């Protein structure tokens, strides 16, 4: 079985380190909700409007909080992804 971790990348001008900070906020969200990240990602891929799919979107909103209030990155966003780990 493959193992995955939560990752992120930015779209726009925001630097990668902000995406990395966003990952930490998203991990905190998943921990607080006591929901498995991979289960949410798979649900999101099947149906964004499912309960678990909406949790993935909520975690992504949390990740984007690192950009809030910084006008330099108004055209940017953090996108979460499930990254497969190499064996």
Q: What percent of the chain has pLDDT over 70?
A: 97
Global pTM exceeds 0.95? no
Q: How far apart are CA 14 and CA 3, in angstroms?
A: 28
Contact status, residue 2 vs residue 16, Cβ threshold 8 Å: no
Q: Return phi, psi of residue 81, to 5°.
A: -150, 155
pLDDT digit string (tens) for 7-41? 999 999 999 999 999 999 999 999 999 999 999 99
C-beta of residue 9 within 8 angstroms of C-beta of residue 23: no
Distance between CA atoms of residues 24 and 63, nearest Å: 7
């Amino acid at each position: 079985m493959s193992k995955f971790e939560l990752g992120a990348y930015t779209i726009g001008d925001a630097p990668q380190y902000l995406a990395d900070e966003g990952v930490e906020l998203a991990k905190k969200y998943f921990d607080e909700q006591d929901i498995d990240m991979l289960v949410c990602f798979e649900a999101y891929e099947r149906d964004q409007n499912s309960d678990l799919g909406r949790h993935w979107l909520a975690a992504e909103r949390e990740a984007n909080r690192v950009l809030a209030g910084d006008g330099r990155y108004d055209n940017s966003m953090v996108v979460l992804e499930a990254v497969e780990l190499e064996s």
